[in-house]
Amino acid sequence: MTRKWWFFLFILLGFTGSLKAVDIRKFVVGWKGEKKVEFQIAVPSTFKLENGVIIDGSTLLEFIPQNETCDDWIEIITIQESCKIDFGFKEYFEVLKSSYIQQHGCEIEKLEVVLGEEQGMPTAFFYVDKPAMKIKNGVMFAMPGKRELCGKRFIKTYIGLFNVQYTIRFDSKTTPKEQKQKLREKIEDFLSHAGSWCV
């Protein structure tokens, strides 16, 4: 290996600490002329890929902490790329909000949507504090005494909709407001900094 490559490897290790420090996932979300516009997600090394599905061009990836299982997780990072949406971007979130309200009603403590724009594409941050639900064999079950903080970052792409989601479950009776605020800040920090544009 030449000195140039050793220097490059030293710099890379200096930034990441390990070549496997993070799992980098890139998605093409648009075009500028003939150049691809990619959105890159850096999944922490403390997470593992638990589920990965591609159906009709739509991608769904689920990452959970290394010591957790798909049936009993406390944290989950979900990356989803859909080929199309049946509504306008703004209308999509009205429908999404309505579906959460219809499912959980007054048990929802917070439900927020902030629309914006990045790289000339519509974006949104979505946040909800709701009762925790568990899915097993395609059936959704309530988890008594548990709640979920869920944050999502959306990008309207040239073919549909892309989103990265971070959800944290917690005990509704023993978790004080200060701790819930820290959990929300953790979610917001991940959604703000885990993704980066490659233009």
Q: What pLDDT is recorded for position 22?
A: 66
Tokens representing 5 are 């490559």
Query: What confidence score (pLDDT) does residue 8 get?
Result: 31
CB 180 within 8 A of CB 149: yes
Please give the mean pLDDT across all residues of the chain: 82
**What is the rounded CA–CA span in Å between residue 17 and residue 9?**
11
* Ranges in the chain, pLDDT < 70: 1-22, 199
Phi/psi at 87 (5° precision): -130, 165
Q: Which domains, and CATH codes, for the chain?
A: 20-198 (3.40.1000.10)
- 163-186 residue pLDDT tens: 999 999 999 999 999 999 999 999
Q: Please give the pLDDT value at position 75.
A: 96
Q: What's the pLDDT at 20?
A: 44
- Please name the helix (run of DSSP H) or strand (run of DSSP E) that holds residue 180, with its range, or none: helix 177-193
pLDDT by residue (tens digit) across 76-108? 999 988 877 777 888 999 999 999 999 898 899
Question: 66-84 b/e with 16+ CB inside 10 Å = b?
Answer: eeeeeeebebbbbbbbbee
pLDDT at 199: 64
Model pLDDT, residue 3: 40
